[in-house]
């Protein structure tokens, strides 16, 4: 490898990351020191670290590996349990897929999960119970093959114990400890500060922040001074410290952008990422206060064509019919309970105007969960925690989202979709449009029975909550597709069963 001149370094080490000063000896001086320049070869591992995009959604490779491990664990247990039966060995992978899908439905492979051991264990039990019931029903549908219910139950108990042990080991030795991208942030202003504010474990699972590099035109510093790096050559520092990615978070790129050094990084196998793309990957949101029109124009996604519409419409119709058949007994019980509580002449259903695709209004259908004079003042009101207007039956059906099951009719007639941004009332939309100019963009798609914001954000009960949820709605509008819809529908089971965000 060629020998080159390098600058002499004086280092004051704070956690091994801060460089205080750089000095260059005069050209031709006898004091020149020749060392090998860091190897400029493409990184072999950074593409398999942190969060990676899979069918429109980002998943941490740690959880991808955990999913594969638990799938193989299921296959092993079922294969051993039915080792004397060739048919049993054949169906073992099918049963294992059911178990993994049930685990995913409970949010156990979600990058953003923050549940402790009790929460994780309860979800493992519920997921295994679901897969156990599904296996029993599948087995009974085949007249030539029968497994004793107690046998299925025994295997399921073994799987609960094994999953629990694997989760404890994963939490202690893997989660947030390995396979994280080592990143540098170019910038020290307000945009960079947003990255520094990601401090929870669920926010930082995918990356390890080495520090911030100020641009030449930097006038203000909003980040912690202990995280500042004095770096003369970004690429050289990145190669020396095995950096996987440089995140560009400059408040003003017209001056001080080290284009040549970033190009050097890019050609050396180091990823260069916009801060908006970074937040989209790590947090599952579109940061509203960082958006520039140029990013919206050039960013990947926001696909909204006729073939996607047909695909989504087909899934909506088939899905609504299946869900309607499955939920019909619960809907009958809900209607009966409302009649018993509110009296014979009371209304079971409640209709309300909402804003749908293209800003057009439609009438939404719900089970009545509030008293008949809930808005006697004539003004639209947000639902609040422990809302006194909610009836006893309404409190139960709102917790488990049963009040929204009649909206399957809205899905069938095309006013709504199974997955999409939740529809808001016209009075609230007019107010929210004034607060943020991007709010109307969520109406590019049909509103949904469930959505990305419902998975990731609590129940919205104010204009501030609605603007915060807009970050998630725009993420869905940008990345929406068949597999992301399936992922959201599967994980909605956790929202319903564990009453996440209900009021």
* 56 has a pLDDT exceeding 60: yes
Instruction: Give the pLDDT confidence of 8-51 residue by residue, as tens digits.
Output: 343 333 434 443 333 334 333 343 444 445 555 555 566 678 89
Please tell me whether residues 199 and 55 are part of one structural domain: no
pLDDT at position 26 is 38
Q: Would you say residue 144 has pLDDT above 90?
A: no
- Percentage of the chain surpassing pLDDT 70? 83
Pick the more confident residue, 253 or 422.
422
Q: Which of 253-257, 272-276, 391-395 has the highest mean pLDDT?
A: 272-276
Average of per-residue pLDDT across 350-369 = 93
Top mean pLDDT of 52-56, 100-104, 110-114 is at 100-104
Residues 186 and 267 in one domain: yes
What is the per-residue pLDDT for 297?
A: 85
pLDDT at residue 216 greater than cutoff 90: no
Residue 318 has pLDDT above 70, yes or no: yes
Highest mean pLDDT among 16-25, 85-94, 328-337: 328-337
d(CA 419, CA 484): 9
The residue ranges of DSSP E strands in 106-219, in sequence order, are: 181-186, 207-213
What is the Cα–Cα distance from 503 to 491, expressed in whole angstroms? 19
Q: Highest mean pLDDT range out of 185-194, 298-307, 387-396?
A: 185-194
Measured distance CA(112)–CA(132) in Å, rounded: 27
Q: Tell me the sheet residues that pair with 60.
A: 51
C-alpha radius of gyration, the chain, whole number: 27
End of a domain among 173, 189, 205? 173
Evaluate whether residue 87 is within a structural domain.
Answer: yes
Structure tokens given for 29: 């001086």
Q: What is the CATH number of the domain that holds 266?
A: 3.40.50.720
pLDDT of residue 457: 86
Which is higher by pLDDT, 216 or 180?
180
Q: 142 and 187 in one domain? A: no
Distance CA 438, CA 164 (A): 44
Q: Are residues 122 and 18 in the same domain?
A: no
Average per-residue pLDDT for the chain? 84
Q: Distance between CA 443 and CA 199 in Å, rounded? A: 33
pLDDT > 80? residue 382: no
Coil, strand, or helix at residue 422? coil
Q: Which of residues 173, 201, 219 is at a domain's end? A: 173
Same domain, 312 and 257: no
**pLDDT at residue 259 is higher than 80:** yes
Of 82, 83, 121, 74, residue with least CA distance to 101 = 74
Global pTM reads 0.85
Note whether residue 245 is domain-resident: yes
Q: What percentage of the chain reaches a pLDDT higher than 90?
A: 54
Domain that holds residue 342: 306-370+383-497
Examine the fold and report which residue of 252, 284, 316 is the final residue of a domain before the chain moves on.
Answer: 284
Which burial class, exposed, middle or buried, applies to 29 when counting CB atoms under 10 A from its CB (0-12, 13-18, 19+)?
A: exposed
Looking at per-residue pLDDT, the higher value among 387 and 281 belongs to: 281
CA 230 to CA 109: how far, in whole Å?
A: 39
pLDDT at 387: 67
Q: For the segment 124-138, what is each residue's pLDDT rounded down to a tens digit? A: 999 999 999 998 888
Asked whether residue 164 falls in the same domain as residue 144, the answer is yes
What's the confidence (pLDDT) of residue 267?
A: 92
């Amino acid at each position: 490898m060629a020998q080159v001149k390098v600058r002499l370094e004086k280092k004051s080490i704070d956690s091994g990351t801060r460089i205080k000063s750089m000095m260059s000896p005069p050209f031709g001086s006898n004091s020149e020191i020749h060392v090998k320049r860091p190897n400029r070869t493409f990184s072999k591992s950074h593409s398999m670290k942190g969060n990676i995009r899979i069918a429109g959604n980002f998943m941490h490779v740690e959880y991808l590996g955990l999913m594969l491990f638990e799938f193989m664990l299921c296959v092993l247990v079922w294969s051993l349990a039915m080792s004397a039966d060739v048919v049993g060995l054949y169906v073992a992978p099918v049963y294992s897929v059911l178990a993994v899908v049930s685990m995913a439905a409970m949010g156990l492979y979600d990058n953003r999960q923050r549940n402790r051991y009790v929460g994780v264990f309860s979800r493992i039990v519920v997921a295994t119970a679901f897969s156990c019931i599904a296996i029993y029903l599948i087995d009974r549908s085949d007249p030539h093959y029968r497994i004793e219910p107690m046998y299925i139950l025994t295997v399921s108990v073994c799987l609960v114990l094994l999953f629990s042990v694997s989760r404890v080991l994963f939490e202690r030795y893997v989660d947030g400890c390995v396979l994280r991208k080592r990143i540098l942030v170019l910038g020290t202003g307000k945009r960079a500060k947003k990255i520094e504010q990601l401090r929870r474990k669920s926010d930082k699972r995918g990356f390890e922040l080495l520090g911030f590099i100020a641009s030449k035109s930097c006038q203000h510093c909003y980040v912690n001074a202990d995280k500042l790096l004095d770096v003369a050559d970004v690429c050289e520092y990145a190669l020396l410290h095995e950096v996987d990615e440089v995140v560009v978070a400059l408040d003003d790129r017209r001056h001080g952008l080290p284009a040549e050094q970033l190009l050097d990084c890019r050609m050396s196998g180091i990823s260069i990422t916009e801060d908006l793309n970074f937040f989209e990957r790590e947090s599952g949101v579109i940061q509203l206060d960082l958006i520039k029109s140029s990013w919206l124009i050039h960013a990947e996604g926001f696909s909204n064509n006729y073939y996607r519409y047909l695909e989504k419409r087909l899934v909506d119709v088939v899905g609504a019919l299946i869900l309607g058949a499955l939920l019909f007994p619960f809907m009958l019980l809900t209607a009966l309970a409302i009649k018993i509580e509110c009296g014979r002449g009371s209304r079971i259903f409640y209709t309300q105007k909402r804003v749908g695709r293209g800003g057009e209004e439609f009438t939404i259908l719900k089970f009545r969960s509030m008293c008949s004079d809930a808005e006697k003042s004539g003004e639209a009101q947000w639902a609040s925690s422990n809302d006194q207007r909610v009836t006893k039956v309404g409190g139960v059906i709102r917790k488990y989202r049963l009040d929204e099951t009649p909206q399957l009719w809205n899905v069938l007639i095309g006013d709504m979709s199974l997955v999409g941004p939740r529809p808001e009332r016209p009075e609230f939309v007019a107010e929210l449009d004034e607060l943020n100019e991007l709010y109307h963009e969520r109406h590019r798609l049909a509103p949904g029975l469930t959505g990305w914001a419902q998975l990731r954000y609590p129940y919205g009960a104010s204009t501030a909550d609605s603007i915060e949820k807009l970050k998630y709605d725009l993420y869905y509008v940008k990345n929406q597709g068949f597999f992301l819809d399936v992922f959201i529908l599967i994980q909605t089971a956790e929202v319903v069963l564990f009453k996440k965000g209900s009021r």
